[in-house]
Structure 1
Amino acid sequence: MTSIGHPESHRFENKVVFITGAARGQGRAEAVRFAQEGADIIAVDACSEFSSTAYAGATRDDLDETVRLVEATGRRIAATVADVRDFDGLSQALAAGVDAFGRLDVVIANAGICSGGLSWEITLEQWKETVDVNLTGVFHTAKAAVPHLLATGDGGSIVFTSSVSGIKGTPFTGHYAATKHGIVGLAKTMANELGEHRIRVNTVHPAGVETGMTVSDLHPLIAEYGSTLGPIYMNSLPYQILQADDVASVVAWVCSDEAKYITGAQVPIDLGNLIR
């Protein structure tokens, strides 16, 4: 993981942040970034393999490393192995963290998986597992968290991790794109419902991020069709890939008071990939 510089600000002093998929990648970077800015962290990760993906799942050792990095900042963390598909287990992990730290202020629904295939060739297993993790898992996260945000009573911020595939139709990711579009609709609705409570709901849309979740299973398809579909994957800025801490910096800004008037937005972190 690329080291994350220590931010000068402490925008989240004495706040509590709940992050799913926190064992590595974007979730770990976000946990460390919020901790550096003064927050205590409630972290969950499934720490398991997924049958439809071509890359290795996160492990308990990965989650323990997130714990180590957060504690190195001087902040507290409650880390639990919990799967976002299991509403009861997820809710219990969150409730235990809120009991320990006394409040909840920010929710980052980050957990997600990805696999590839032509839309009509995606297996039923691929479709179900992707929908269960990426869409139902985000709904579970929000459903579990909102009562705690309301109980805290100080407003708050919810961010769903979407993708450039949540705005455009990237080939070979029909199931993934469907889920990432789906959480945009959920975020917009919740932004309208929660606005009166000063709870903001936004989505972030990264282009490719260098994390443990790769899409190497897409490469043969991209190689085969690259001559005709290449422009769909091109970035206008001269960078090939994001780092997880790049995403964490944007997410922290979206959740801060500096963005307190922004809700229901789709925030691109796309290297110019979405320019039309």
Structure 2
Amino acid sequence: MEGKVVFITGAARGQGRSHALRLAEEGADIIAMDIAGPVEGFSQYEPASPDDLAQTVREVEALDRRIIAEEGDVRNPDRLKEVVDKGVAELGGRLDGIVANAAIANINHWHAFSQEEWQTTIDINLTGVWNTVRAAAPTMIDAGNGGSIVLISSANGIKAGPFNAPYNAAKFGVTALGKSFAMEMSKQRIRVNTIHPGPVDTLMGNGAMGIIGDLDRESPGILPMANVWPRPEGDPNFMSPREISNAILYLLSDESTWTTGLAMNVDQGMSQY
């Protein structure tokens, strides 16, 4: 990744920060964006903050890489373009990679979600990915140097998870977007792939699993449908965000120049049965 520039949404903490650091370790400079604040109607886990985004900056700079970090909402296409344009201008006029990572989740029975929760989930998790690519990919196309885009879907974007209907719908949509973009950008040598994480050790991931357990006790028998493949006793149930970052590193690097349209599962078998 030496000398490359990558745009990452949802970069203040969790998976987004991990992706920024892993790519910076391999030489990339980073354009980072995060809402860095609460999303209306979503309170099942603590939101990211401006301090979190500042911490991402400090950790990337400690790796002797450059980073442009801005607050912004992926529901706002104009803001996305402002951030991309500023980052590209300050980091040498190029953009080599995009990681559409920003997402939210609330857990509930399908009938208990409000209309606002449904719409906000779709707006951030699906339309936000569309907005991100629309804002950033033209810079790659105009440069004529190709590039690589990674959309963060979910194991729930291949096999729906329980108590997660809006999130499932959005992540299935992300999977379809990835394949659509891959076909249409192939002539510009831009590769587009999706990654499908299973349980990841983040505030969002841990918060969701605790609530899912409570809901399963109200409606027993559904949770086993989301089983992962068995692991040795004592192994952690949640993977480190770095496991996802390693997959992103491969897909953004020149080691994967013939890989496009792929839905890559990093999910401990969750989507397989």
Query: In structure 1, which of residues 195, 216, 220 is the aligned counterpart of residue 214 of structure 2?
Result: 220
The correspondence for 1:14, drawn from 3, 9, 18, is: 3
65, 81, 95: which one aligns with 1:75: 65
The match for 1:258 is: 255
Please list every run of 5 or more consecutive structure 2 residues that lacks an aligned counterpart in the other structure: none
SS in 2 for 1:210: coil
How far did 1:121 drift? Answer: 2.5
Amino acid of the structure 2 residue aligned with 1:157: S
Report the alpha carbon displacement of residue 125 of structure 1 after superposing the two structures with TM: 1.0
| Cα distance in 2 for residues equivalent to 1:114 and 1:52 | 11
Who is 1:92 aligned against? 82
1:65 is aligned to 2:65? no
- Specify every segment of 5 or more residues in structure 1 that has no aligned partner in the other structure, as ranges: 1-11
Which of residues 2, 19, 36 is equivalent to 1:47? 36
| Alignment size in residue pairs | 264
Q: Separation in 1 of the partners of 2:97 and 2:230?
A: 31
* Farther-moved stretch of structure 1 (234-243 vs 30-39): 234-243
Alignment of 1:1-276 (within 5 A): 12-53=1-42, 54-101=44-91, 102-213=93-204, 214-215=207-208, 216-226=210-220, 228-238=221-231, 239-276=236-273
Tell me how far apart the structure 1 counterparts of residues 53 and 140 of structure 2 sit (CA, whole Å).
25
What is the DSSP-based 3-state SS (H/G/I as helix, E as strand, rest coil) of the residue aligned with 1:75? coil
Output the CA distance in 1 between the equivalents of 2:201 and 2:185.
Answer: 33
What is the distance in 2 between the residues matched to 1:29 and 1:92?
24
Q: What's the secondary structure of 2:103's corresponding residue?
A: coil
Query: Structure 1 232/42 Cα, relative in aligned 2: closer, same or farther at 3 Å?
Result: same
> Shift in Å at residue 237 of structure 1?
4.1
- In 2, are the aligned partners of 1:85 and 1:140 still within 8 Å (CA)? yes
Supply the distance in 2 between the matched residues of 1:40 and 1:132 (Cα, whole angstroms). Answer: 28
Structure 1: how far apart are the matches of 2:223 and 2:163? 13
Range moving further from structure 2, 180-189 or 211-220:
211-220
**What residue identity is the alignment partner of 1:244?**
P
SS at the partner of 1:66? helix
Structure 1 residue 234, shift from structure 2 partner = 1.7
CA drift of 1:87 comes to: 1.0
Calculate the TM-score normalised by the size of structure 1. 0.92
Deviation string 1:12-67 (CA, Å, 9 cap, x unpaired) is 00000000000000100000011110010000000111233211110000000000
Distance 1:162 1:85 in 2: 17
Moved more, 99-108 or 208-217: 208-217
**What one-letter code is carried by the residue in structure 2 that aligns with 1:47?**
A
The whole-number CA distance in structure 2 between the counterparts of 1:257 and 1:153 is 16
Name the SS for the 2:168 alignment partner.
helix
Identity of aligned residues (%): 42
Map Cα deviations across residues 50-105 of structure 1 (whole Å, 9 max, x no partner).
23321111000000000000001100000000111111111101110011111000
